[in-house]
Homo-oligomer: A and B are copies of this chain.
Amino acid sequence: MEEQAEMVGRAFVDHYYHLFDTDRASLSSLYQPSSMLSFEGQKLFGANDISSKLNQLPFDQCKHLISTIDSQPSSPSGGIVVFVSGSLQLPGEEYHLRFSQMFHLIPTPEGTFFVQNDIFRLNYG
């Protein structure tokens, strides 16, 4: 179960940030009405509001570079927690922004996963 969590976590992270960097609007398909996002302390509820927030961030292009991925099974029913650290590169900015983010993934009846919990923080200091 631990190995599967690691595999799912890595595959999810690849997929998520690839979509974020190339087709951000399609991230909405990874969330559901019950999903929550805390973005730098701001709370958003449901796939629609979360998608709006992500698509209204004040940059059009970006590139995520991933440093670490830690994944664990969160429950006997197949949930997985994924913890990511990395950096965000914005066009025209010399320095990367370091960030940490966690996802709680829940299995769907179709055999995929959706994001129930998403918490994002830039690392200052």
Binding site for B on A (CB under 8 A): 2, 36, 38, 41, 43, 67-68, 70, 72-75, 79, 81, 83, 85, 87, 96, 98, 100, 102, 104, 116-117, 119, 121, 123-125
A68 touches B41 (CB 8 A): yes
Shortest 6 CB-CB contacts between residues of A and residues of B:
A100-B100, A83-B119, A38-B70, A123-B123, A70-B119, A36-B72
State in angstroms the CA–CA spacing of A87 and B81 once bound together.
23
Taking chain A's interface residues, is the majority helix, strand, or loop, or is none over half, making it mixed?
strand
How many copies of the polypeptide does the oligomer hold? Answer: 2
Which of B67, B68, B81, B98 is the one whose CB lies under 8 Å from A117? B81
Q: Please name all residues of chain B whose beta carbon is closer than 8 Å to the beta carbon of A72 when the two chains form the complex.
A: 36, 38, 117, 119
State in angstroms the CA–CA spacing of A85 and B99 once bound together.
11
